[in-house]
Structure formats: structure tokens, C-alpha cells
Amino acid sequence: MKSLRLKVAIFICLFATSGGREVNVHHKDHVPTYNHTLAKILVEYSSAVYISNLTELFTWTCSRCDDMTKGFEIIDLIVDVKHCLQAFVGVAQDLNAIVIAFRGTQERSIQNWIEDLFWKQLDLKYPGTPDAMVHHGFYSAYHNTTIRPGVLHAVKRAKNFFGDLDIMVTGHSMGGAMASFCALDLVVNYGTHNVQVMTFGQPRTGNAAFVSYFKKHVPNTIRVTHGHDIVPHLPPYYSYFPQKTYQHFPREVWLYNIGWGSLVYTVEKVCDGSGEDPTCSRSVSGNSITDHLEYFGIELQAETWDSCRIVLDHDMSSYSTTDLSGNIVLSRTPIASVLELNTQKRKGGISVL
């Protein structure tokens, strides 16, 4: 039965992305610059946030906490156990920035979660703009859990300690949707002007009016998609019903392979400013879960889909607080002497969006 439901859902997705009149979202273009090296760094943060061993993650000693993110220091690690959500806020010396990463879904089954995405309705008006609509589940995962206050508190502490650093917000899958809401929240409600977003395999989050609102306030945004990844095709985009459908915000960068046999290499195509470029990921069928779970060769999923289990050593008790619902925050004061951060951009550093 589950297999039949998924096949029916994929058929609907293929129909939804075919033909019809295109929606043109008009923007005064600020074109974010795609940086390959930055993408390779941020995808590692989006992978690390899936780690369930909180001790290894908080101390940045986990198996995914090396390579291009070596030396990163987490300030706060927020775990909403009740809603199976996780995020961290920390400071990256090489980026000279605060990094916020949100975990994607860790429900019982990735297949069940994807099936549910087909049927999500635009059922919540986004506050502050009359026509913008989003799905309440996407919105609530960030706004109505312990994730939002935990992230905002950590960002405030980091800025108080290090000054006005850039903020880079990232996440994979559902974590990408949460990253988008977080970035918009920081800009609109807290007056932060140096926010950049890069997500991986993110689903659509709102309608055309929401896209226009988001693009206006968070122009430095890149959505990376991969091959036939099914999730960026969801919830479906119906080009025949432009005011009633979900739509992606720009700018997409589509990763896809060309060639045969041993002569295969990956193209990184920077797409147009519509958010729904028909020559990018929409040009292929969205039918792959495998493509969703790996970007740039980096695994983007939990160690297990069986539960929202966590591991925390007793010697972390001096860093942790737990509320009445069992939600956990691990927190510490940054080590300035180790990071030696400078609030001015280093000329030789990595170019950002």
C-alpha cells in the first residue's frame, strides 16, 4: 500500500511540473553569488546537525565534524525532543561568521515524510503581509517550538561576544525550510542586515506572494538541488494555478551529472531569478530519494530513522539545561582566545554570497 501511495504521489508531481503558463515573480534583481567552496563547507554543517550523539556534536568531535569545518565552535545546541527537531549556532573562524544549521526530518520513515509532502496545503497566512501563504507545519517547526528562542538567544550571545559578524543559515530538507523562516525572522523582526542562506534539497515553503516577500528581505539566498531529488519538487507546483500553488524562491543552483562511464562529472548550474526555472531541476522528474540524501558526496540523513534518539554523556551536565518537556540546550561561552575573530572581512578569506 505504501509503495502504491508513493507511485501515485510521484505521478501527481510529474503532472504538476509539466507545461502550462509560468508564474513570473518580478523582482528588482539582487543576484546572489554562488560560491562552490562555501557550498562544500555549508553542506558539511547541514550533515553534522543530523548527529544524535550530542556530546560529540557539541564538542565538535563527531565523524562529520572535520574536513572543511574543522575548528568550528558550537555556542548553543538546541534539541526539541518533543517535536524531534535539532539546530546549532556557532562561530566559524574561516568564514568569519555565525553559522546556524537546522536538522532535516528524523521521523520514522523518510518515505512516509515525502508522501506527506504531496498533500500539504497552503493554510496559514504569513504574519505581516496580506497575501503570503505558507504551510502551518513548516512555519510551526521553527516559530512554535523551542528551536526559535534557543537560536535567537544564541545569536544574540554570539553577536555580543564577537560583534556584528555575518550570519549564514543552512539546512537540508525540512531543515532548509526552517533555515528560510529563521533568516526571514532575523531580518524582519530583529533588524539583522547581514544574513545569508544556503539550503540543500529544500521543499517549497509558500506561495508566490511569500516568495516576493522573502526575496525582498533575504536576497542573499541560494537553494542547492541535486539531480532527480524528489523533495525540491514538493509540495507540487501547479503552473496552471499560479495564485493557489506553492512556489520556490530564487536562486536555485542545480547539481547534475553529465557524461558516461568513467567520464562523468558534475555540473553546477546557476538558474534564473524566478525560483522555478524550467531548465533546472524542474526539467527532470523528481523521483529519487537517493539524490535527496547525498549532496557533493556528503551524507545528509540521520544515523537511523527508527526514532529521535539522542546520546548525551553525564559529564556534559554542566553545559546542559532541560525543560519540563525534556527539551535540551547545551550552551557555553565562546573561546575568544582560540578563535581570534575579527569583525572586519579578511581580504584573503572565502568569498561569500
Q: What is the pLDDT of residue 30?
A: 64
Would you give the distance in Å from CA 141 to the centre of its chain?
12
Query: For the chain, which ranges sit under pLDDT 50?
Result: 1-2, 4-28, 337-353
Say how far apart CA 274 and CA 278 lie, in whole Å.
9
| Residue reference for cell 539524490 | 291
pLDDT at 110: 73
Query: Which residue in the block uniquely carries the three cell numbers 572586519?
Result: 344
Give residue limits of the domains in the chain: 36-333
| DSSP calls for 49-98 | TT--BHHHHHTT-STTS-GGGTT-EEEEEEEETTTTEEEEEEEETTTTEE
Looking at residue 21, its pLDDT comes to 31
User: Under DSSP, is residue 34 helix (H, G, I), strand (E, B) or coil?
Assistant: coil
Residue 164 phi/psi, 5° resolution?
-85, 70
Q: Are 263 and 254 in contact (CB under 8 A)?
A: no
What distance lies between CA 101 and its chain's CA centroid? Answer: 7
The per-residue pLDDT for 61 is 94
Q: Which fold has domain 36-333?
A: Rossmann fold (3.40.50)
Q: Give the pLDDT confidence score for residue 108 in this predicted structure.
A: 59
Its sign, for the CA torsion 274, 280, 284, 288, is: negative
So what's the pLDDT on residue 2?
Answer: 46
pLDDT of residue 318: 87
Helix 147-162, helix 174-190: angle, nearest 10: 60
Distinct helix (H) and strand (E) counts, the chain:
9, 14
DSSP one-letter code for 5: H
Residue 102 — φ and ψ, nearest 5°?
A: -115, 135
CA nearest neighbour of 88 among 219, 205, 178, 203: 178
